[in-house]
Amino acid sequence: MNRQCSLLLAVLALSVTVAMPLPVSAALPAMIDGQAMPTLAPMLERATPAVVNIATESRVALRNNPLLDDPFFRHFFNIPDQPRQRRTQSVGSGVVVDAQRGYVITNHHVVEGADTITVTLSDGRQLDAKVIGSDPESDVAVIRIPNGNLIALPLANSDRLRVGDFVVAIGNPFGLGQTVTSGIVSALGRTGLGIQGYEDFIQTDASINPGNSGGALVNLNGELVGVNTAIIAPGGGNVGIGFAIPSNMVSRLMNQIIAHGSVQRGQLGVSVQDLTPELARAFNIPANQGAVIAQVVSRSAADKAGLREGDVVLRVNDRPIRDGSGLRNAIGLLEVGASVQLEILRDGRPLTIKAKVGEYVPVKTEGDDLNPRLAGAIFEDIGPSSPLAGKVQGILVARVESGSPAAQAGLRSNDVITAINRQRVSSTNELRRIAARSNSLVINLIRGRGELLLVLR
């Protein structure tokens, strides 16, 4: 089993919290030897009402044998009409972040493709919600519920988190009802896991299980420091490695989603790679972390600002850059037109360069225009600012509609197609040329850290 198989997005289970009265004799003493007993209860009494349950329902088209679509065949064999769709239900959690306007943060995968969304508050109220917008690349979505007696969680500055800080995860694991677990921040800035396009995870050992996704990770002040998103779970349950999207990243994405309905991701127009010890020696520079600019796109924002190949980016807007993924995240979270200050090393000399983030418009192609077997999928060129740039050559499957021919054939969002009918492809134009003239398709693709072969006839 490859490592990607162990990276499971945590799917939340909707359940009803049951309050069981404790016998008086079971109460703990308030003090022992004159010292107050430490407890998180006062903080949790303020924080838990802001964490909500989310239930979604959607309709998925069923794929029937073509013979079942023939009325004469059904009549001859006395086959009743078959349903064309089936209803699916999924559950998740969210966090109220704006009580006045009714905004709730959750994961994109929790509400993706939902026809109806029902939010259940901690006091038992059930409210209909609508999607304001979402960003599949970061797995962040914003939904809205009617305001009125809502409680919101304040957002903390996640840049101030340190490894070893105490944190608390709030969610609904395995449908048990609202559950609180505690732990510490195990690591910061986790990237390269293949879970999302833009990764900058907080790692924690606070128990996160299937059912916690979209829930809150809070500090001991009851402030939101992250949104629980994924776990490493070889056995299907918690092993002490969970991941949350930092609150600062969530805040920036949320503001764009509320303003535009989506994230208008900017770009500098560069291809980057990690600064390895070998490259540092080759460039004769003392830095041991940063991002090396491998290519500058002509007439791009980077080109206009004066960036050059071989420049080493150390900081963006005063934030340290550890590697290429860090630079892509820092730029990709900025709005188009935003000013950015980069601290770089050029030939060993420190420089400060100011640039204005440009718009990234990837080349996209709909599968319906390529081949009927690919209908329902959207394919996208891997641009210079993509997290995949420089790591893999191929075409990104940007989206797959649930129940479509492409989905039934086995394609999934974030797959990377590397070859069609034994011919390497690196652009949607090459994909169009091969797929349009083929009756059957043999697709080589990368999914996470594994490779797959699909045959579409």
User: Length of the chain, please?
Assistant: 457
**Set 58, 90, 109, 385: catalytic member:** 109
d(C-alpha 177, C-alpha 408), whole Å? 34
Q: Classify residue 99 by burial, with Cβ atoms within 10 Å: 0-12, 13-18, 19+.
A: middle
Backbone φ, ψ for residue 139 (5° rounding) = 65, 40
Q: Classify residue 172 by burial, with Cβ atoms within 10 Å: 0-12, 13-18, 19+.
A: buried
Q: Which two tokens stand for residue 263?
A: 């994230």
How far from 106 is each of 1, 53, 164, 386, CA to CA, in Å? 30, 10, 26, 24
Q: Helices (H) and strands (E) in the chain — how many of each?
A: 9, 30
CA Rg value for the chain = 25
What SS3 state is found at 445?
strand
- Residue with the two structure tokens 């959607």: 58
Query: Catalytic annotation on 109?
Result: yes
How far from 399 is each of 135, 269, 396, 451, CA to CA, in Å? 12, 23, 9, 19
Instruction: Enter the DSSP assignment of 367.
Output: G
**Set 93, 158, 213, 325: catalytic member:** 213
Q: What is the largest CA-CA distance in the chain?
A: 86
Query: Catalytic annotation on 213?
Result: yes
**Set 139, 200, 205, 323: catalytic member:** 139
Tell which residue, 158, 156, 159, 157, has the closest CA to residue 318: 159
d(C-alpha 400, C-alpha 417), whole Å? 13
- Helices in 261-323 by DSSP H: which ranges? 277-283, 301-305
d(C-alpha 395, C-alpha 419), whole Å? 9
Q: List the end-to-end C-alpha distance of the chain, in Å, as a whole number.
A: 27
Instruction: Enter the DSSP assignment of 456.
Output: E
d(C-alpha 297, C-alpha 107), whole Å? 33
Q: Which amino acid is at 126?
A: Q
For the chain, helix, strand, coil in percent to 5 are 20, 40, 45
150 within 8 A of 265, measured Cβ to Cβ: no
Catalytic positions, written as ranges: 109, 139, 213
